[in-house]
């Protein structure tokens, strides 16, 4: 018998400057990643700087590498 593993997160876009995605330069790529458990801190995210992202926030590529490394204990 297999055991099911379920995970849930929410990604909230915080980069709306008022015009939504009306133009490529009209919005920020910032977002906040959170889990249902309030004890877990949120993760500030953005696109990579090559895609107009904020370098002070985690980008999806960094988070992917981090999750793969953590899963395989490669640190």
- Helix ranges (H only) for the chain are 60-72
Angle at 7 between CA 54 and CA 39, to 5 degrees: 70
In a domain, residue 1? The reply is no
| Helix/strand/coil percent split, the chain, to 5 | 20, 20, 60
Domain count of the chain?
1
In a domain, residue 34? The reply is yes
Of 1 and 14, the structure prediction assigns the larger pLDDT to: 14
In a domain, residue 66? The reply is yes
Classify 12 as helix, strand or coil: strand
In a domain, residue 36? The reply is yes
- pLDDT for res 50: 97
Question: 68, 35, 50, 49: which is closest to 12 by C-alpha?
Answer: 35
- pLDDT for res 74: 58
d(CA 57, CA 11): 14
In a domain, residue 19? The reply is yes
Structural domain that includes position 15? 10-72
Q: What is the pLDDT of residues 7-55, one digit of tens each?
A: 999 999 999 999 999 999 999 999 999 999 999 999 999 999 999 999 9
Examine the pLDDT at 73 and tell me if it is beyond 90: no
């Amino acid at each position: 018998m297999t055991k099911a593993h379920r995970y849930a997160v929410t990604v909230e876009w915080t980069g709306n400057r008022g015009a939504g995605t009306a133009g490529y330069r009209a919005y920020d790529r910032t977002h906040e990643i959170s889990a249902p458990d309030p004890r877990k801190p949120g993760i500030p995210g953005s696109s990579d700087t090559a895609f107009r992202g904020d370098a002070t926030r985690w980008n999806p590529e960094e988070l992917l590498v981090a999750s793969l490394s953590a899963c395989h204990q490669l640190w």
